[in-house]
A = this chain, B = another copy of it.
Amino acid sequence: MTSPRRAPGGFPVVGIIGGGQLARMCAGPAVELGVTLSVLAADAHDSAALVVPSAPVGEHTDLEAVRAFARACDVVTFDHEQVPAEVLAALEADGATLHPRPSALRYAQDKLAMRERLTGAGIPCPAWAEVRDEGDLLAFADQHGWPVVLKTPRGGYDGKGVLVATQPEDAAEWLARAAAAGEPLLVEERVPFVRELAVLVARAPSGQASVWPVVETVQSGGICTEVLAPAPGLTPELAERASDVALGIAAELDVTGVFAVELFELPEGHVVVNELAMRPHNSGHWSMDGATTGQFEQHLRAVLDLPLGSPRARARWTVMANVLGGVDADLYPTYRHVMARDPELKVHLYGKAVRPGRKIGHVNLSGEDLADLRERARHAADYIEGAIRE
């Protein structure tokens, strides 16, 4: 494997395992900081591999490929949370510097471990239990009522790995599959939430932590479609409580790097933790244009143990709308329309082939009038997707 080319002046190499859009969006900030990126990509046409000169091809599950990759890097971080524990352990044994560390990462990889640890630390969570059979499930539902939410502890994202069961029969297939695999499921009460919030934190190995304004995430079919920064109408008390929950988890788990906590806002002005993501996160894409320090620059600073940048919002509101794959594969011709219609629009596309429902990009808009920004961002995203043609 050829070594990544470093800039002169003592600049480090940051390795990212995984070549998706989160690795890709580190590229611009790395260029400006003079830091060299290297990406271990599953495919030479992966989103990040298209834009980073050092992008060896290898699977994140291939121990020898990952070890060779890590040896050429000063610090190793992640585009996703799927690197197996035994691979992470081997890297640690090799002396690689990993951020987040495996001891933290396991709580983003295993939702049962996460629930157990957070509950133990007194962090507000929905009621939950480990279930292995219908008996466990019925016992939980007797106590917390139907419907319940079943989750596979590992590997779920964007609504995958989540099942809302309104009666025992809905869960039968999942329980049978889990039993066959010898794996438990996580069951949670269905929280009567008002809306979904997310808190993005960056934390450096030094312990310095920084939190961006709390945002509202708008979901459709389990996929985030829109982020409003800051969350409209959030009381300062609840904003502080939500931030404290996220900062508390980051400290409790000794998280390093950018870290997202997805929360449910409850009617009585409380929050409970829905999910964790131990990496830059879709709920933070607004910060690329809407904050003094965007999440990808901050992630690089955090994993390098550099002092963190200001997370201050640069406008009253920033709205992010995801661009999902539609039926039209030709994205570039849409630029003429959306850019002419809205000179303020910030477009971010990921170099990914279009597949229906796949996250292929996002747009950001900052300004004073939230309703107007939402309409404009939605229009641009819909137009790029091909959902509208005027």
A354 CA to B310 CA, complexed, in Å: 28
| Residues from chain B with Cβ under 8 Å of A53 in the complex | 50-53, 55
Q: Which listed residue, B301, B310, B351, touches A34 by the CB 8 Å rule?
A: B351
* A336: interface (CB < 8 Å): yes
Q: What is the chain B residue whose CB lies nearest that of A24? A: B31
Q: Is the interface of A mostly helix, strand, loop or mixed?
A: loop
Q: What is the chain B residue whose CB lies nearest that of A361? A: B34
| Residues from chain B with Cβ under 8 Å of A330 in the complex | 9-10
* A344: interface (CB < 8 Å): yes
Q: Are A347 and B27 in contact (CB under 8 A)?
A: no
Q: Which listed residue, B33, B52, B353, touches A349 by the CB 8 Å rule?
A: B33
Q: Which listed residue, B10, B31, B309, touches A331 by the CB 8 Å rule?
A: B10
- Chain A, interface residues (CB within 8 Å), range: 35 or more
Q: What is the chain B residue whose CB lies nearest that of A32? A: B348
> Shortest distance in angstroms between A185's beta carbon and chain B's nearest beta carbon?
37
A25 CA to B52 CA, complexed, in Å: 14
Q: Are A309 and B11 in contact (CB under 8 A)?
A: no
* A95: interface (CB < 8 Å): no
* A314: interface (CB < 8 Å): yes
Q: Are B36 and A31 in contact (CB under 8 A)?
A: no
| Residues from chain B with Cβ under 8 Å of A306 in the complex | 335-336, 339
Q: Are A339 and B9 in contact (CB under 8 A)?
A: no
A32 CA to B12 CA, complexed, in Å: 23
> What does the 1/0 interface line of A319-345 toward B look like (CB < 8 Å)?
000000000011111011001100111
Q: Are A343 and B10 in contact (CB under 8 A)?
A: no
A271 CA to B315 CA, complexed, in Å: 34
A292 CA to B292 CA, complexed, in Å: 13
A32 CA to B292 CA, complexed, in Å: 17
Q: Are A8 and B352 in contact (CB under 8 A)?
A: yes
Q: Are A307 and B348 in contact (CB under 8 A)?
A: no
| Residues from chain B with Cβ under 8 Å of A234 in the complex | none
Q: Are B309 and A343 in contact (CB under 8 A)?
A: yes
Q: Are B350 and A8 in contact (CB under 8 A)?
A: no
Q: Are B34 and A354 in contact (CB under 8 A)?
A: no
Q: Are B7 and A50 in contact (CB under 8 A)?
A: yes
A51 and B33 contact, Cβ closer than 8 Å, known pairs A336-B307, A354-B9:
no
Q: Are B339 and A301 in contact (CB under 8 A)?
A: yes
A70 CA to B29 CA, complexed, in Å: 28
A293 CA to B44 CA, complexed, in Å: 31
| Residues from chain B with Cβ under 8 Å of A51 in the complex | 27, 30-31, 53
Max count, chain B CB within 10 A of own CB: residue among A30, A301, A314, A343: A343
Q: In A22-49, which residues have CB < 8 Å from any B CB?
A: 24-25, 27-34, 36, 44-45
Q: Are A34 and B309 in contact (CB under 8 A)?
A: no
* A104: interface (CB < 8 Å): no
| Residues from chain B with Cβ under 8 Å of A118 in the complex | none
Q: What is the chain B residue whose CB lies nearest that of A27? A: B31
Q: Are B34 and A349 in contact (CB under 8 A)?
A: yes
A314 CA to B11 CA, complexed, in Å: 30
* A308: interface (CB < 8 Å): yes
Q: Other CB < 8 Å A-B pairs besides A12-B332, A309-B345, 9 of them?
A: A11-B331, A25-B31, A32-B346, A32-B349, A34-B351, A292-B343, A292-B346, A306-B336, A314-B315
Give 10 A-B contacts (CB < 8 Å), ordered by A residue.
Answer: A8-B329, A10-B332, A24-B31, A32-B346, A34-B350, A36-B50, A306-B335, A307-B335, A307-B336, A307-B339
Smallest CB-CB A-B distances: 4 pairs: A28-B28, A7-B351, A9-B331, A34-B349
